[in-house]
Amino acid sequence: MDTFPPPQSPSPSVDISHLHDGVAAFGAELAAAKAQLAPPERWYPYDTLGNVGAIDQTLSTGNRDLTFLAGGRPVADIGGGDGDLAFLLARHGFAVDIVDWGPTNWNGLAGARLLADHFATTVEVHEVNLDSQFDLPRVRYGLVFFLGILYHLQNPFYVLRSLAEHSDHLLLSTRVARVTADGKVPLDAAPIAYLVSPTETNDDPTNFWIFSPTGLRRLCERTGWDVADEAFFGRTEGDSDPSSQDRDERAFLLLRRRHGGDEELAAASWL
């Protein structure tokens, strides 16, 4: 029995291709707004809207309707920089929460708040430290975007398990590796994670765990998720490693909360 708040009335169907088709126009509008609101150096420097193209290639025929995946519930964009994706989703009628942590966000979440005021949407900005015993802003989300965040977390198991307790679908992307940085130790077939040194990956001490593809699937399985779709991008020749810029491989996964998974999650509640 569903003890969470009931879903809202369904919105018109939004296929991922609709989102992808509108990225260029919305990106131009977003760039103009940012130029008006603050100097270039104040904004998150990476193209978060570029993830929409990878998601479009990842989702199979039965999983492309974002409205169906959200199920009439709110959507969360966790760790989304300035919230570019959140504002694109809001433009298509979704109720969206931006969830990030000010001390590790590029501009302390000032960019997301400026854009929320500028676009006057229902997007809400929340500060949540995922490296703590955190609470999400809502009891339940239908769909969570969790892109490029997993390898920045000290305890990815706890975070994914917590998200499975509070959301139905998760779109996850993260860096993966199939060999060690020296190329001598294969990682691909084993369900493992590689712990990088503070400066090993992009000279960024907030990088921690780089999973093998098999390890990433096992992590999802053990935290209450089923993998509905997956795709790999970047260095897919079989020699991707945890740190080299020219051997960067990314996994994109659509995860579905496992039916009847509450018992498994409860069994792991001591973690």
- CA–CA distances in Å: residue 56 to residues 21, 126, 234: 10, 27, 16
Contact between 94 and 70 (Cβ < 8 Å): yes
Indicate whether 7 belongs to any domain.
Answer: no
Q: State the pTM of this model.
A: 0.92
Indicate whether 109 belongs to any domain.
Answer: yes
User: pLDDT-based confidence at 135, cuts 50/70/90?
Assistant: very high
Distance, in Å, from the CA atom of 119 to the CA atom of 176, rounded to the nearest integer, reads 35
Average pLDDT over residues 120-148: 96
User: pLDDT-based confidence at 1, cuts 50/70/90?
Assistant: very low
Indicate whether 114 belongs to any domain.
Answer: yes
Residue in 50, 14, 3 with CA at minimum distance from that of residue 143: 14
Indicate whether 139 belongs to any domain.
Answer: yes
* Alpha helix positions (H), 120-212: 156-166
Q: What does DSSP assign to residue 152?
A: G
Q: How far is CA 217 from the centre of its chain?
A: 15
pLDDT at 9: 47
Query: What's the CATH code of the domain at 86?
Result: 3.40.50.150
Distance, in Å, from the CA atom of 206 to the CA atom of 195, rounded to the nearest integer, reads 11
- HEC string of 3-65 equals CCCCCCCCCCCCEHHHHHHCHHHHHHHHHHHHHHHCCHHHCCCCCHHHHHHHHHHHCCHHHCE
Task: Give residue 127's identity as a one-letter amino acid code.
Answer: E
Q: How many domains does the chain have?
A: 1
Indicate whether 2 belongs to any domain.
Answer: no
Which tens digit of pLDDT belongs to each residue from 201-258? 999 999 999 999 999 999 999 999 999 999 999 999 999 999 999 999 999 999 999 9
| Parent domain of 261 | 16-267
Distance, in Å, from the CA atom of 76 to the CA atom of 219, rounded to the nearest integer, reads 21
Indicate whether 4 belongs to any domain.
Answer: no
Indicate whether 162 belongs to any domain.
Answer: yes
Which tens digit of pLDDT belongs to each residue from 183-211? 999 999 899 999 999 999 999 999 999 99
Indicate whether 31 belongs to any domain.
Answer: yes
**Percent of the chain clearing pLDDT 70 (strictly above):** 92
